[in-house]
Amino acid sequence: MKAIVIYESLWGNTAAVARAIAEGIGPEARALSTSEATPDVVAGADLIVAGAPVQAFSLPSERGRASIRQDQDPPPDLSSPTLRTWLESLPAGRGRSAAFDTKFRLSPGSAAKAIDKELAKAGYVPVAPPRHFIVTGSQGPLREGEVEAARQWGQELSFAAV
Ligand SMILES: Cc1cc2nc3c(=O)[nH]c(=O)nc-3n(C[C@H](O)[C@H](O)[C@H](O)COP(=O)(O)O)c2cc1C
């Protein structure tokens, strides 16, 4: 099974979740940033899992990104396109999909729901409901146990996608 976990991540938290999900899926799965996941890399994927941070209660946009201060410590990594932009150019496929996001525990809103919808629009059939993973601050870290939960979820997705 060709499985790819694509992420947008400014401070590495969503990337860490993506890597754990890929580990859970199995050795054939790869976690890739939106700049690494070019159309030829993604072509023919049997399972696409995609995740982004929640920003302003939703999936980050290029416009919202422009307002993010770059003089923070540590600085945000803005070198890859937003997942929203990546999804806009995702070629149609016939695989399965799942969506996740990282967010504060008590915040309303979701990025995963929008990701789920866009993946389905491109022909990738969801195998699990959108899933949240919790950060304890804007720059992280992830809540204790989230990396293990992500690994577990990856394993569940690999069973659901066959
Ligand atoms: C501009 C901005 C807006 C944010 N808005 C929200 C929000 O509405 N709800 C929420 O739960 N978290 C919000 N966050 C926190 C992000 O979800 C958090 O930075 C992210 O999970 C960290 O993951 P990353 O290291 O992969 O970027 C916001 C963060 C930023 C920088």
Atom of ligand 1 nearest to the CA of 135: 21
Distance 44 CA to ligand 1 centre (A): 31
Tokens of 71: 């003089």
**Each residue's pLDDT tens digit, 83-132:** 999 999 999 999 999 999 999 999 999 999 999 999 999 999 999 999 99
- Pairing of the two strands 96-103 and 131-134: parallel
Instruction: Output the residue whose Cα is nearest ligand 1's atom 23.
Output: 13
In the structure, which protein residues have their CB atom closer than 6 angstroms to any atom of ligand 1? 9-14, 53-57, 68, 102-104, 107, 109, 135, 138, 140
Determine the length of the chain: 162
Alpha-carbon distance 132 to 37, whole Å? 22
**What pTM was computed for the model?**
0.98
**Each residue's pLDDT tens digit, 25-42:** 999 999 999 999 999 999
Which domains does the chain carry?
3-160 (3.40.50.360)
Distance 107 CA to ligand 1 centre (A): 10
Atom of ligand 1 nearest to the CA of 58: 8
For the ranges 19-28, 64-73, 124-133, which has the lowest average pLDDT?
64-73
First to last CA, the chain: 8
